[in-house]
Structure 1
Amino acid sequence: MKKLAILITAVIFASCSSDLESLNENIKDPLAVPGESLFTGAQKNLVDQVVDLNVNNNNTKLWAQYLQETTYTDESNYDQVTRTIPEKHWSVLYKDVLKDLDEAKKVIEATTYSTSELEALKPNKLVLIEILNIYTYALLVETFGDVPYTEALDIDNLLPAYDDGETIYKDLVARLTTAIGALDEGTGSFGDADRIYGGDVAKWKKFAASLKLRMGILLSDVDPAFAKSTVESAVATGVFTSNEDNASYEYLGSDPNTNPIHDNLVLSGRKDFVAATTIIDIMQPRSYEYLEDSNEDGEINEDDDRSVVPGSVTSTDPRMKYYFAPNVDADPTVEQVVYFGGEIGNTASYASHTHVSAEIEEATFPGIILDYAEVRFLLAEARARSFEVGGTAKEHYDAAITASILDWGGTEAEATAYLAEPTVDYDTAILASTADTPWKEVIGTQKWIALFNRGLEAWTSIRLLDYPLMATPVEAVSGFPNRYTYPIIEQSLNGDNYSSASSAIGGDEAETQLFWDIN
């Protein structure tokens, strides 16, 4: 009887122990994250980093001189060190995008789906992961130069070597060509887990071809023959043909799934940015005058506060009302709103300078990583370089500007009128240009206007085409940044490979021109 009691007690204890252990199980979090969820997360992290305005994460809208800081002007003056911005960019793209995409690939490859229909989606899913991998590595090369590539993402190798930037870039083009050929347009992919195209494989194929076009154009100065074949191959595959093709990430209306700009400008309650004078003055040309000794140095000159000369504004880009708010009218004597931008690198009163538009501040404002207007500008560049892509440079240029105006909400009539302006008309502007390569100034300036709110791509375009000319910030700590410097943590933890890479690119300096930026 005693033995029986002991046995019963042991069984009860074992049962209770099992129950107690089950209490420690986390039933809310899955033991394994589906590959589709990892893809969605990586996609959001990528787009967030591309569109972000937070000065701790992405400075390129300041460097492209779309915006100017109001009070703390370090980043407008090209300071990359105080907030360690390069480290954030590096970390997000490697850890939060590439690593998650790598894990998504592994999980999807290892998953046996419940039906043959779901199993059939697997190949396209893996190709879409590959396309986003390529896009992300391209951003890293365009930003830093030489970066870890063949040894990247290996958790057993904490000190990866850096690969040559041009070699990486050309390999990415080859991978992209393979990916395009592997897509099956007759089959689906991620469905709603894809926040850009909803799993539409035909759209992704156009995106991949358009990305290949962009990458080919970037190599035009360093390897014209390779660039030509890449561009012509991309166009033959089929690039974007309308604004319906735009790679537009769909944000939601509540935090943390809103557009980061909404967080930066609305949820934060901060008033850190106003429009920059560079874009304001190009989109709405005017003259300035100096009427008061505002700095009280005994002289009235260009060191004092500016005023718009009454009546000097005679034309306004039709997109300005979509880019900027009408909170300031710098010349009430004329019919149109006269916007007023902050001087580059200087403090700028939030109340007395133009703000970004309410539309851009919306929580659900889409995040664009590639669009039709940009593609048509790239085709204009291709024709200007005598690449065989059909049409003329002017035709593509006109179509690009029209696409941009329509996409922002303008009309065909506004686009037609704008294209007729002497400073915009392609042929007239080419003749008026004093640049060594006039088409670079004409296409480069209009492309930059159309890329508003897309700082990374605008910054890349400025570096490639050298137009429009950027103002020198009043307290610049370097020349114009041609690259992000390498993260400080790389110098500390991966010193030998960092030193080799720095030497290979010509020095880890902001002004160092990358391999593709040679003219």
Structure 2
Amino acid sequence: MKKIFKYIGVLSIGAVALSCSNFEELNTDPNSAYTTKPEALLSYSQKQLADYLNTPSVNENNFRLILQYWQEVTYVDESNYDFVNRNISNNVWSDLYVDTMQNLVKAKNIVNQYVPTATEQSAWAKTKKNQLAILDVQQIYIYQTLVDTYGDIPYSESNGIEITSLPKYDKGADIYTNLITKLKADLASMDATGESFASGDIFYGGDVAKWKKLGNSLLLKIAIGIADSNPALAEATAKEAISSGVITSSSDNCLFNYLSSSPNFNPLYENLVASNRNDFVAGKTLVDYMNTNADPRRATFFDTNVVPYKGGTIGTPSSFATNSHIGKFAYTETTPGVIMSNTEVAFYLAEASARWGIGGVPAVAYANAVNASLAEWGVSTANAATYLAAHPYNAANWKKSVGEQAWVAMFNQGMVGWNFYRRLDFPVLSAPSTAVSQAEGKVPVRLQYPVRETTTNPTNYAAASSSIGGDKLTTKLFWDKF
């Protein structure tokens, strides 16, 4: 594994220094050796995805700030939703379409073209199907992330640069439907009696059974995502995912295990320690909520440099000395990067139960989700029982119960927390009075398209902007109905 990470480190040199004049350049990762083995491309893609999802870099991932989990200390542009100044959408677009997606596309090409040796021949049919399904599941994860970030996106033409370098944007609702179809096919093709990747799979070490659980969990996630926009398809898909077996234990978490040295330590550590900067403190909105509710997770979410816990006021410069710091987990090199956790899936099960009566009794499914989060953050069984007794399930307003608890639970999974917030409309968050005018006094519900797209792919950009109702921070996605 160390050799793999060393190779990744070489590949990642200059990865953010992309300057593209069209989608063809954007879809070509100059840092990847496309003639190499698919295992190396898989490792690189997994690391790039984990880095993107877990980094607190204001150049790429500001979901912890949008959700008011964290607050900036000195430079507060991103806390006020100024995402244009740093070309953040351009970076996100490149992170997902190039660094993660295109390496998977090239890996698929290599797998499809591979001619097995005589000794591999008998097992290759199963191995090939499993490898292609694993690569496709990751692509589906990325496409859903892109839709959930922007709305309509390049999809059907996004990987066909030999056909067009100016791809059209597909409707988000259509993409979701197609992702469900593709994911079901991938799950059907996986065979746990066969092999997959003997190396290179940092998530699961080639364990097909665990990949099937991740695939079913992703199917459930997609289903829950369209619960308000396409309830019939959502319910049927959720039922199928749950009955087929989703992640229900932390032992099946999809994680990227970081190493203790650069460039392979956790991006939290990179930005909070290795950078020699003190740019973030805990956000007042979350700290106040947890203080009010005597939340036992405060001891691991935050440091004890300030007692009682105190958060920086959202949108304004905040003292590093007098506000609570982020907890020790963020200052540790080897803290795993979360792709999908048992806690996240447990909240999908709670929501499925509350909406449709599947996935367990609503109050029990809710308790399971809250307890999963408490256990994840090291809360004792006794303290967990006390907390849950004080915060029981409210059937009359289940969106508030699930939404607020999911918001807290997703403290280290900002993108996922943003989805719960937008879908359930809880907690009630207010934009700071200092927010940029483009926010229109609201907490953003999407990112604007990259500025680069307005100049390099203007016709398709204009069509997409019109389709979604305007390229604004306040334009709701197709599934965000209330």
* TM-score higher than 0.5: yes
Give the distance between the partners of 1:189 and 1:416, measured in 2 at CA: 41
| Secondary structure at 1:420 match in 2 | helix
Determine if contact 1:346/1:474 at 8 Å carries over to the other structure. Answer: no
Residue 131 of structure 1 pairs with residue 137 of structure 2: yes
2:158 maps to 1:189 = no
Corresponding residue to 1:465 among 420, 424, 427: 424
**What residue is the counterpart of 1:202 in the other structure?**
209
Superposition deviation, residue 155 in structure 1: 2.5
For 1:46, give the aligned amino acid.
L
Tell me, yes or no, if structure 1 residue 359 matches structure 2 residue 326.
no
Q: Distance in 2 between matches of 1:113 and 1:92?
A: 33
2:464 corresponds to 1:486: no
CA shift, 1:188, in A, is 2.5
* CA distance in 1: counterparts of 2:166 and 2:145, whole angstroms: 21
Which of 246, 249, 252 is the aligned partner of 2:253? 246
- Residue in 1 that maps onto 2:377: 408
Preserved contact between residue 191 and residue 200 of structure 1 (Cα < 8 Å):
no
Counterpart AA for 1:123: K
Q: How does 1:28-47 map to 2 (within 5 A)?
A: 32-47=35-50
SS in 1 for 2:281: strand
Work out whether 1:321 is the aligned partner of 2:310. Answer: no
Cα distance in 2 between the residues matched to 1:131 and 1:84: 29
Contact 2:300 2:327 in 1 (8 A): yes
- The alignment partner of 1:159 has SS state of coil
What corresponds to 2:318 in structure 1?
348
- 1:356 to 1:229, Cα distance in 2 relative to 1, 3 A: same
SS at match of 1:68: strand
Q: Is the 8 A contact 1:444 1:466 kept in 2?
A: yes
Cα 1:411–1:178 change in 2 (3 A) is same
Q: Which amino acid aligns with 2:130?
A: N
Which protein shows a greater Rg? 1
- Over the matched positions of the two proteins, sequence identity in percent amounts to 42
Name the CA distance, whole Å, in 2 between partners of 1:180 and 1:472.
41
Give the letter for the 2:378 counterpart: G
Contact 2:272 2:330 in 1 (8 A): no
CA apart distance, 1:471: 2.8
1:87 equivalent in structure 2: 90
Which of 84, 98, 103 is the equivalent residue of 2:106? 103
In the aligned structure 2, how far is the partner of 1:209 from the partner of 1:238? 6
1:159 corresponds to: 166
Q: Give 3-state SS (helix, strand or coil) of 2:356's partner.
A: coil
Kindly state the Cα deviation for residue 30 of structure 1 after the two structures are TM-superposed: 7.7
Separation (CA, whole Å) in 1 of partners of 2:332 and 2:386: 29
Counterpart residue number, 2:399: 440
Q: Is the 8 A contact 1:228 1:387 kept in 2?
A: no
How many angstroms does 1:65 deviate by?
0.8
C-alpha separation in 1, matches of 2:179 and 2:160:
19
How far 1:367 sits from its partner (Å)? 0.8
The answer as to whether partners of 1:276 and 1:344 remain within 8 angstroms in 2 is: yes
Deviation at 1:386, TM superposition (A): 2.0
Deviation by residue 1:285-311 (Cα, 9 ceiling, x = unmatched): 1xxxxxxxxxxxxxxxxxxxxxxxxxx
Residues 191/250 of structure 1: CA separation in 2 closer, same or farther (3 Å cut): farther
Between stretches 400-409 and 438-447, larger displacement belongs to 400-409
Cα contact 2:445–2:476 (8 A) shared by 1: yes
For residues 177-231 of structure 1, give each alpha carbon's deviation from its aligned partner in whole angstroms, at most 9, with x where no partner exists.
Answer: 1111111011221244111111111111011101111110110111111111010
What are the Cα deviations for residues 123-162 of structure 1, in whole angstroms up to 9, with x where unaligned? 2111100100100000001110000111112223221111
Determine helix, strand or coil for the equivalent of 1:452. coil
Q: Distance in 1 between matches of 2:186 and 2:399?
A: 31
Structure 1 distance, partners of 2:49, 2:468, is 26
Deviation at 1:118, TM superposition (A): 6.9
Corresponding letter in the other structure for 1:451: M
Tell whether 2:392 aligns with 1:425: yes
The answer on whether the counterparts of 2:454 and 2:461 sit within 8 Å (CA) in structure 1 is yes
CA distance in 1, matches of 2:222, 2:78: 28
Q: Show structure 1 runs of 5+ residues with no match.
A: 1-28, 286-314, 330-337, 432-437
User: 2:187 aligns to what?
Assistant: 180
Q: Deviations over 1:361-398 (max 9, x none)?
A: 21110111211112121111112112433x21110111
Deviation for aligned residue 1:81: 0.5
Residue 366 (structure 2) pairs with residue 397 (structure 1): yes
In structure 2, the residue corresponding to 1:348 is in which secondary structure?
coil
SS of the equivalent of 2:182 reads: helix
TM superposition shift of 1:483? 0.5
SS in 2 for 1:240: coil
Which residue of 1 is the match for residue 17 of structure 2? Answer: none
Do the aligned residues in 2 keep the contact of 1:376 with 1:396 (CA within 8 Å)? yes
Structure 2 Cα separation of the partners of residues 474 and 43 of structure 1: 38
Asked if the contact 2:34–2:106 (Cα under 8 Å) also holds between the matched residues in 1, the reply is no
**Amino acid in the other structure paired with 2:226:** L
Question: In 2, distance between residues paired with 1:173 and 1:67?
Answer: 34
How far did 1:75 drift? 0.4
CA drift of 1:408 comes to 1.8
SS at match of 1:271: coil
Unaligned runs of 5+ in 2: 1-31
Map of 2:175 onto structure 1: 168
Distance in 2 between the 1:101 and 1:248 partners?
A: 18
Higher mean C-alpha displacement, 346-355 vs 190-199: 190-199
SS of the aligned residue for 1:369 comes to: strand
Deviation at 1:121, TM superposition (A): 2.3
Distance 1:387 1:234 in 2: 14
Q: Is the 8 A contact 1:259 1:365 kept in 2?
A: yes
Match of 2:155 in 1: 149
